Structure 1
């Protein structure tokens, strides 16, 4: 028997816009009293619900229970930009690509996750939250254009389609003349992340029991595994942990996970005249030529801007930090949409990313019948889905070739010792964002 006391539990602050524009959810079911299950999943984000859905397919007659610390869609799953990206997307590099062999494997795995999500969207009527729209890369400088042209050469080598874009073409799409060139790739899905994940949870409710607002305060692992909360506990012979960076909160992967926050702001609904002033198309998503630049999405009468990364080793941010970075968002927004003047933001929020120094996931069986799927390296929508699905396959003993591929990937390596991390990580992020320049 091993005891794992949670040194912290998720407690995200500020309502994410994706959650705020949805109708209020029904009252949560909180874990109270003692329960038993065949399968226990801790964490109801993209990874946890993908694992739950896959288990429901593989072992339809067994009891599956999911426990989450917050409301579904309130945490990291509802705080990202909603890009389910099929192509290479390495946040730490000067551009998004890697080696060809690695990228071919990554594309294959990402597309498997996207198709798994697509089938869920069809099954549960979630197509309005899951749109195969593709993504735009926008460059604000000639250097950014050169970076994108190198990325296009890499895509050519991979045999992947793309469309180079000039400034006029991007203006016709986005309404702004801020960008001087770009690239369109067709395989990305644009999700409304909170809408999709809440809809997925609702669709699974016929087969999976979900407890919300029930932070797990301790785990006991052994012949049977027990998760305890403030008001209850649940015991199961098989446990899947899909808590991303909070794996470290339970003592797993200590000093191997890098905890970073990124931030977003969403406008109030734009008036008809403001929408006319912007012009362009009503729905699109754009990522910057430099990975540290600003991601922009337009969803009808609202625009979202996301930028700025901070090192938060305690896995939390503050209202003060969100407000401070909101001023950066306002400057980035006004540079791109000067025709809107001081259009106010209705929502501002931060979201937790878990990275590793070698861009490796936390995946596999870490104790007897204890499985993990986390450390998605900034790609929680697609890689969370992927590793959650594969964790279920692994736990059941389903001999899927992609499980073997995932198990061959390296594990997160050790972080640098203190005080190098607390000094070096913020400096590294500052330097990378400084490099982004006008792309920010």
Structure 2
């Protein structure tokens, strides 16, 4: 028996969730009694929902439970920047093999197609825009990172466009960036709306329990304990990302990093006049610690930056307010004429990283499986890892599954306090070197 001490929480005002156009169709159901399921998936994000969805397809007569400490859409899956990236995306821009990059692109495209089908079946407006993305730089010294990115794209025969100067400014509505690499396969969404839509699409043999935190676990007996009930299963899947260590798995493998975002109110008529020929867009920075920016379908601007390591996996309002100051500075640098546009929402969320950028994808205990560490690309990667976890549990074999297994060996991370100290030093250096791209 292991007692849990750290739990997911709502860190700030969750902009995507509060502004999403999708309506929930079912009231919140909590764990209130003892029940048995064939499968229990812990975590109702993209990874957990994908696992449950594929298990339901493979075994339609099984009883499947998905549980979450928060409501669907409030967790990490609903707090990211809303990029579904089709291309290999290593936040440190390390070299990797051409064959691996090609396979990752194929898996990402598979995930995008699956999510596209689901949201179309549901008929939900999740602000799905297949408009590509820009990797952009303000500082000329970061152009070398753009060059490294184009070399990877050339190696896998992927199309791209170099955009500079007035052309780039006219596309983005800001002249702040000097150079960018545009690729056309990325999809932009409201991530909270999309994850809610995915949850709504699950078949009737999948039961979702929200606002139901696991207080303790006994993996020998396959039991999960809650405040008001106990759930027992034949098989348990942990899709718990940064909280996976709390369950006793992935020891010294994960490096959770907190980051923060702010979302403006919808631009008013005067502000929109400056964007009258600008379509929704998304910019990732040429520097790993740079600012991510979006102009959304509902005429808002997203700013995401500021990084920290928080061992309790919990932020507070003071930290969010401090990050919001940095967001405002980054916003004004890029959009000085929009000084009258306030932020409506500001929040924190976690990137679950590993030292070598490989995810956790394994059987932690007999009949207990874990998926964690999307390394900054959770929508696509979580979707395909969840799908293939279900395939692995059912004993199905494929080249894709073999590839995933051979590339899911996260390297060792030192324990705390060394992990936190080392990570904070590295993040501090990275954020300083980002300079104008922060």
Range class of TM-score, shorter chain: over 0.9
TM-fit CA distance, 1:47: 0.3
Q: Partner residue of 1:210?
A: 208
Shift of the 127–270 alpha-carbon distance from structure 1 to 2, 3 Å rule, reads closer
Aligned residues: 435
Look up the SS of the partner of 2:374 in the other structure.
coil
Q: If the length of structure 1 is used for normalisation, what is the TM-score?
A: 0.95
Shift of the 285–270 alpha-carbon distance from structure 1 to 2, 3 Å rule, reads same
Q: If the length of structure 2 is used for normalisation, what is the TM-score?
A: 0.95
After the TM superposition, which of the residue ranges 412-421 and 362-371 deviates more from structure 2?
412-421
Q: Which runs of 5+ in 1 are unaligned?
A: none
Q: CA RMSD in A?
A: 1.7
Look up the SS of the partner of 2:312 in the other structure.
coil
Match of 2:232 among 235, 252, 259: 235
Work out the CA distance in 2 between the residues paired with 1:58 and 1:185.
35
Q: Report Cα offsets for 1:225-275 as digits up to 9, x if no partner.
A: 111111112111011110111110111112221111111000012111111
Look up the SS of the partner of 1:204 in the other structure.
coil
Work out the CA distance in 2 between the residues paired with 1:250 and 1:96.
31
Work out the CA distance in 1 between the residues paired with 2:137 and 2:354.
27
Q: Which runs of 5+ in 2 are unaligned?
A: none
Match of 2:172 among 161, 171, 174: 174
Q: Partner residue of 2:74?
A: 74
1:43-62 map, 5 Å:
43-62=43-62
Q: Partner residue of 2:261?
A: 264
Q: Partner residue of 1:396?
A: 394
The answer on whether the counterparts of 1:242 and 1:373 sit within 8 Å (CA) in structure 2 is yes
- Answering whether residue 293 of structure 2 is matched by residue 274 of structure 1, we say no
TM-fit CA distance, 1:418: 4.5
Work out the CA distance in 2 between the residues paired with 1:127 and 1:143.
40
The answer on whether the counterparts of 2:176 and 2:333 sit within 8 Å (CA) in structure 1 is yes
Look up the SS of the partner of 2:301 in the other structure.
strand
The answer on whether the counterparts of 1:297 and 1:304 sit within 8 Å (CA) in structure 2 is yes
Q: Partner residue of 1:385?
A: 383
The answer on whether the counterparts of 1:131 and 1:190 sit within 8 Å (CA) in structure 2 is yes
Match of 1:13 among 11, 20, 33: 11
Q: Report Cα offsets for 1:19-50 as digits up to 9, x if no partner.
A: 01036745311110111111111110010000
- Answering whether residue 257 of structure 2 is matched by residue 245 of structure 1, we say no
Q: Partner residue of 1:117?
A: 115
- Answering whether residue 26 of structure 2 is matched by residue 29 of structure 1, we say no
Shift of the 286–240 alpha-carbon distance from structure 1 to 2, 3 Å rule, reads same
TM-fit CA distance, 1:417: 4.5
Work out the CA distance in 1 between the residues paired with 2:277 and 2:262.
20
Work out the CA distance in 2 between the residues paired with 1:410 and 1:37.
28
After the TM superposition, which of the residue ranges 185-194 and 130-139 deviates more from structure 2?
130-139
TM-fit CA distance, 1:278: 4.3
Shift of the 208–410 alpha-carbon distance from structure 1 to 2, 3 Å rule, reads closer
